[in-house]
Amino acid sequence: MSENTNILVVGIGGQGVMTATEILAEAAIALGHDVKKTEVAGMAQRGGVVSSHLRFGMRVLTPQITPGTADVLLGFEAAESMRWQHMLRPGGITLMNTARLVPPVVELGLFEYPDDPLAEIRKSGNKVVAFDATTIALDLGDIRLGNTVMLGAIADHLPFSAEVLLDCVLKRFQRKGEKLVELNRRAFAAGRAAVGAAEAALG
């Protein structure tokens, strides 16, 4: 990693991209990092594409990640993970939910959805770890847990411990009762385990 850590979070409106970025920022702030973030939401409420830049370190001057400098691309959706590959630095990593959520621009016929986003990323030579965060969330009983699954997925690819991030996740749900806290704890652990297993399979 460079002096500053650059994380790009991308997906479709309604998946929790901005919330995930906020929680990552909170974790970095808790450890005393200088933090800058920015979001671009295209009709996010209607399932449009969403991207969120997060930079933290000793001193960060701008929230904008320059193409070719992202350390981690956290992709909530398969085609969006593919579309943002140009942002990764050499040796960077994509953590990709394999779920396909087709945005309105595809339904309207303005763009074609790629046949195999994962294969396209691998073709580019970038390291990609793919897992099905949506199915993991559904197996836990609520698709909205996908956000926490994705945070678990990035937990071991940050310059601080997974426990710091988990603590920030769980604080969000403390007022809503122990049941929800425990569900999110399980979702975080499942995302972390899914990436660990996928990385082990890559060798």
Q: What is the pLDDT of residue 100?
A: 83
CA atoms within 13 A on the CB side of 53: 18
- The answer to whether residue 44 scores a pLDDT higher than 50 is no
- The answer to whether residue 92 scores a pLDDT higher than 70 is yes
Return all residues near 39 (Cβ < 8 A) that are at least 6 apart.
17, 18, 21, 50, 51, 52, 53
- The answer to whether residue 77 scores a pLDDT higher than 80 is yes
- The average confidence (pLDDT) of the chain is 90
Which superfamily does 5-202 belong to?
Pyruvate-ferredoxin oxidoreductase, PFOR, domain III (3.40.920.10)
Mean pLDDT, rounded, for 41-60: 78
- The answer to whether residue 149 scores a pLDDT higher than 90 is yes
Q: How far is CA 132 from CA 99, 173, 197, in A?
A: 6, 24, 12
Q: Where are the domains of the chain?
A: 5-202
Mean pLDDT, rounded, for 31-55: 80
Q: What is the pLDDT of residue 203?
A: 75
Q: For a pLDDT cut of 70, what percent of the chain falls above it?
A: 92
Q: What is the pLDDT of residue 1?
A: 43
Q: What is the pLDDT of residue 110?
A: 66
Mean pLDDT, rounded, for 171-192: 94
Kindly report whether the global pTM for this prediction surpasses the value 0.85.
yes
